[in-house]
């Protein structure tokens, strides 16, 4: 089923100069391979096309069931040079979680148990 | 100090940045047993702010909050045998020490406190000498040599590792005050000292680096800023992380049970990926840690075990953090209400930019954002909702000429009477002009720094 990433993963973002990083973490072991297959560097670049002026790098961390994305040239110059409200990319985590992914329904429900969405959706 | 060889060494985090929660260090010391309290004050731009303060006042240039904190905690530190390791010294560790010595004279402790200061990271005072010796300090991002901005440089500090912290602890310091130490060394320095890890024991030092990365952002490892089941957390009095480390390099992340927040696989994982670059190459002055080797085990009850960390030899070069003057900037805001809040804010922006044009004011950058209508996520947030209750117009400029930036700050208020309707939110007055401090990361040979590092211990 098509779901926003926030149904199956959570994230945290931060900055290094003009580069933002977004760490994307799967709620469950079974969802992680779907993130690896579907949340590619190209897709993330396309998703952030209005924010990220540079390239996107992706690193896999299966040990943490996480993917780390580096979004280059995304913070208006970074640090105190930047005029952006979110000059440190602190909300980019939530921005990435807006992306839509296709994940088998039973795996989404497994993730809902971990994330607490199963209780909230009742 | 551990009383038995099997007892873990507990390094507690008390501050994740300058401006963090003032109660945290006290709670870390008073709500349960710890051996070390690490306090991180320095971000990339902090050194230039501190350097500006020192220019105006030679006895300033360090985190003043730190002095109050140590004063308050001094009796506990002595009675409990807790040692403090902090980079609060900023660009002036000696002045920090002097303030501590002076004010501790009035505090009743059963024995004097031993305060160590670490100097040598500050390259500003000998920058020309360093450049003349052939160190070009090229920008790691652009490749340009520092000579292109030399006249505008305001601060230059090398990142020191655990070396000087170890020296200070060996000299029985109760409080270690450094300048630009890496954030992680404030945690792994004490671990190397306690366990006697050899300088080339890369795996164990890398484990200490991972522990340091978890500690360095305070409550962020304990459910602060978490997206994982955040509604369930009580963050009024959040726990801050405590590392319970063993000699083999494994450790448990936990928090005091009486404090709020949460330590679980999710809170630790979120902190591990925070500000992460290439996870296999986490470079510090003392080793290169590989975060792809970390194994987490959630033990329940706010305890997560970390094992398996592998590291590689330390780099030949040290990182240098340089700040230079990059012009001026200002940000003004006005709030427009329903109906058509977004449309009114857009109209106001058009008026303001038109007036700047007619004044002939040009800037390196003008940026308009609509808070409440996509300021954080841009078009990803979808089209602005016409029924949104209010939208804040946020307009910012940056340029080399301070007078022009200042002129811009006088163009906000006129929009109240001479602009689109139902506007408020101007009580704070004209926006302030801020000097921009640009960041210049560079590398330098170790010897240039390590040959001048000094550790001095004073009793107070």
> In three state form, how does the secondary structure of chain B look?
CCCCCCCCEEEEEEECCCCCCCCHHHHHHHCCCCCEEEECCCCCCHHHHHHHHHHHCCCCCCCHHHHHHHHHHHHHHHHHCCEEEECCCCCCHHHHHHHHHHHHCCCCCCCCCEEEEEECCECHHHHHHHHHCCCCCCCCCCCCCHHHCHHHEEEEEECECCHHHHHHHHCCCCEEECCCECCCHHHHHHHHHHHCCCCCCHHHHHHHHHHHHHHCCHHHHCCCCCCCCHHHCCCCCECCCEEEECCCCCEEEECCCCCECCCCHHHHHHHHCCCCCCCCCEECCCCEEEHHHCEEEEEECCEEEEECCEEECCCCEEEEEEEEEEEEEEEEEEEEECCCHHHHHHHHHHHHHHHHHHCCCCCCEEEEEEECCCCCCHHHHCCCCCCCCEEEEEEEEEECCHHHHHHHHCCCHHHCCCCCCCEECCCCCCCCCEEEEEEEEEEEEHHHHHCCCEEEEEEC
B53-111: pLDDT as tens digits: 998 999 999 999 999 999 999 999 999 999 999 999 999 999 999 999 999 998 888 89
**Per-residue pLDDT at B460:** 85
Q: Where are the domains of chain A?
A: 2-121
Question: Beta strand B251-254 with B303-307: parallel, antiparallel or unpaired?
Answer: antiparallel
Indicate if B272 and B360 belong to the same structural domain: no
Q: Provide the chain B residues 144-183 that lie in CB contact (below 8 A) with chain A.
A: none
Residues of the domain holding B415: 325-440
B376 CB neighbours in chain A (<8 A) are 85-86, 91, 94-95
Query: Is it the case that residue B1 has pLDDT exceeding 60?
Result: no
Residues B339, B383 within the same domain: yes
**B153 part of a folded domain:** no
pLDDT, one tens digit per residue, over B103-118 is 999 888 889 999 999 9
Interval B419-460: pLDDT, tens: 999 999 887 789 999 999 999 999 999 999 998 899 999 998
Q: What is the pLDDT of residue B6?
A: 76
Please list every residue in chain A whose beta carbon sits closer than 8 Å to the beta carbon of residue B396.
83
Size of chain A, expressed as the number of residues it contains: 122
Phi, psi of A111 (to 5 degrees): -65, -40
The answer to whether residue B126 sits within a structural domain is no
Contact B380 A95 (CB under 8 A): yes
* Whether B331 and A83 lie within 8 Å, measured CB to CB: yes
Q: Are residues B386 and B256 in the same domain?
A: no
Of all residues in chain B, the one with the smallest CA distance to A119 is: B229
B positions 321-350 inside 8 Å of A (CB): 326, 329, 331
B187 with B306, same domain: the answer is yes
Asked if B370 and B337 sit in the same domain, the reply is yes
pLDDT of B4 = 64
| Same domain, yes or no: B338 and B280 | no
Cα(B18)–Cα(A118) distance, rounded to whole angstroms?
Answer: 39
pLDDT given for residue B71 in this prediction: 95
Whether residues B286 and B356 fall in one domain:
no
Structural domain count of chain B: 2
Cβ of residue A74 closer than 8 Å to a chain B Cβ:
no
B239 lies in the same domain as B216? yes
Residue ending a domain, among B315, B335, B361, is: B315
- Residue B291 resides in a domain: yes
Choose among B138, B267, B368, B5: nearest CA to A10: B267
Determine what percent of chain B is predicted with pLDDT higher than 70: 99
Query: Which CATH number belongs to the domain containing residue B333 in this structure?
Result: 3.30.70.2750
**pLDDT 10s per residue in chain A (122 long)?**
999 999 999 999 999 999 999 999 999 999 999 999 999 999 999 999 999 999 999 999 999 999 999 999 999 998 889 999 999 999 999 999 999 999 999 999 999 999 998 887 66
Contact A12/B329, CB-based, under 8 Å?
Answer: no
One domain for residues B267 and B333: no
Question: In this complex, do B369 and A84 lie within 8 Å of one another by their Cβ atoms?
Answer: yes
Mean of the pLDDT values across residues B193-209? 98
Instruction: Determine whether the interchain pair A21/B275 forms a contact, defined as Cβ–Cβ distance below 8 Å.
Output: yes
**Average pLDDT, rounded, for chain B:** 95
Q: Is B8 on the interface with A (CB under 8 A)?
A: no
Is B292 in contact with A63 (Cβ distance < 8 A)? yes
pLDDT at A93: 98
Is residue B455 in some structural domain? Answer: no
Rounded-to-integer distance, Cα B412 and Cα B391, Å: 16
Cβ neighbours of B115 (radius 10 Å): 25
Pair B174, B240 in one domain:
yes
Q: Is the pLDDT of residue B31 over 60?
A: yes
Chain B positions touching A100 (Cβ under 8 A) are: none
Mean pLDDT of B212-222: 98
Residue B45 has pLDDT above 80, yes or no: no
Partner-chain contact B291 A115, CB within 8 Å: no
Statement to judge: residues B364 and B281 lie in one domain: no
Residue ranges of B 221-280 with Cβ closer than 8 A to chain A = 225-229, 231-232, 266, 269-280
Query: Are residues B99 and B221 located together in one domain of the fold?
Result: yes
Q: What is the pLDDT of residues B325-359, one digit of tens each?
A: 999 999 999 999 999 999 999 999 999 999 999 99
pLDDT at residue B391 greater than cutoff 60? yes
Q: Is B294's Cβ below 8 Å from some Cβ in A? A: yes
Is residue B37 assigned to a domain?
yes
Query: Is B436 in Cβ contact with A80 (below 8 Å)?
Result: yes
In this prediction, residue B5 has a pLDDT band, given cuts at 50, 70 and 90, of low
């Amino acid at each position: 089923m098509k779901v926003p990433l926030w149904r199956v993963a959570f994230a945290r973002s931060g900055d290094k100069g003009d580069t933002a990083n977004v760490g994307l973490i799967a709620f469950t072991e079974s969802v992680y391979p779907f993130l690896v297959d579907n949340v590619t560097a190209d897709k993330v670049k396309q998703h952030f096309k209005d924010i990220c002026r540079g390239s996107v790098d992706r690193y896999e961390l299966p040990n943490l069931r996480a993917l780390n994305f580096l979004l280059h040239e995304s913070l208006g110059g970074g640090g105190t040079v930047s005029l952006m409200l979110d000059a440190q990319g602190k909300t980019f985590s939530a921005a990435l979680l807006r992306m839509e992914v296709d994940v088998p329904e039973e795996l989404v429900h497994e993730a809902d148990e971990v994330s607490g969405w199963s209780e909230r959706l009742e | 100090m551990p009383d038995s060889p099997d007892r873990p060494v507990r390094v507690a985090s008390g501050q994740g940045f300058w401006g963090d929660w003032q109660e945290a260090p006290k709670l870390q010391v008073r709500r349960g047993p710890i051996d070390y309290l690490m306090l991180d004050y320095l971000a990339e731009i902090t050194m230039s702010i501190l350097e500006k303060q020192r220019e105006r006042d030679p006895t300033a240039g360090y985190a003043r909050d730190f002095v109050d904190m140590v004063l308050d905690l001094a009796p506990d530190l002595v009675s409990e045998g807790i040692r403090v390791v902090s980079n609060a010294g900023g660009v002036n560790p000696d002045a920090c020490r002097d303030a501590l010595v002076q004010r501790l004279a009035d505090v009743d402790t059963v024995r004097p406190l031993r305060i160590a200061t670490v100097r040598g990271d500050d390259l500003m005072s000998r920058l020309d000498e360093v450049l003349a010796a052939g160190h070009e300090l090229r920008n790691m991002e652009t490749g340009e040599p520092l000579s292109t901005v030399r006249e505008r440089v305001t601060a230059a500090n090398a990142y020191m590792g655990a070396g000087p912290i170890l020296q200070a602890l060996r000299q029985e310091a109760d409080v270690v005050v450094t300048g630009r130490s890496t954030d992680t060394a404030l945690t792994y320095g004490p671990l190397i000292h306690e366990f006697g890890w050899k300088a080339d024991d890369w795996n164990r030092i890398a484990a200490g680096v991972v522990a340091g990365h978890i500690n360095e952002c305070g409550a962020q490892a304990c459910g602060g800023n978490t997206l994982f089941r955040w509604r369930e957390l009580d963050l009024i009095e959040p726990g801050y992380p405590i590392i319970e480390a063993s000699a083999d390099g494994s450790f448990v992340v936990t928090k005091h049970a009486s404090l709020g927040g949460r330590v679980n696989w999710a809170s630790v994982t979120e902190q591990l990926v925070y500000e992460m670059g290439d996870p296999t190459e986490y470079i510090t002055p003392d080793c290169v840690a590989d975060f792809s080797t970390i194994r987490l085990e959630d033990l329940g009850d706010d305890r997560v075990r970390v094992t398996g960390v592998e590291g590689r030899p330390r780099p030949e070069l040290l990182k240098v953090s340089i700040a230079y003057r990059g012009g001026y900037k200002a940000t003004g805001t006005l709030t427009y209400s329903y109906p058509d809040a977004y449309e009114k804010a857009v109209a106001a922006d058009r008026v303001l930019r038109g007036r700047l044009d007619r004044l002939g004011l040009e800037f390196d950058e003008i940026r308009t954002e609509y808070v409440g209508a996509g300021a954080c996520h841009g078009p990803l947030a979808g089209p602005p909702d016409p029924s949104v209750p209010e939208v804040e117009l946020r307009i910012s400029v940056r340029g080399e000429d301070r007078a022009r930036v200042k002129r811009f700050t006088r163009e906000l208020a006129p929009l109240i009477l001479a602009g689109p309707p139902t506007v408020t939110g101007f009580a704070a007055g004209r926006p302030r002009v801020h000097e921009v401090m640009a960041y210049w990361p560079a590398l330098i040979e170790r010897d240039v720094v390590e040959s001048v590092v000094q550790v001095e211990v004073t009793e107070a």
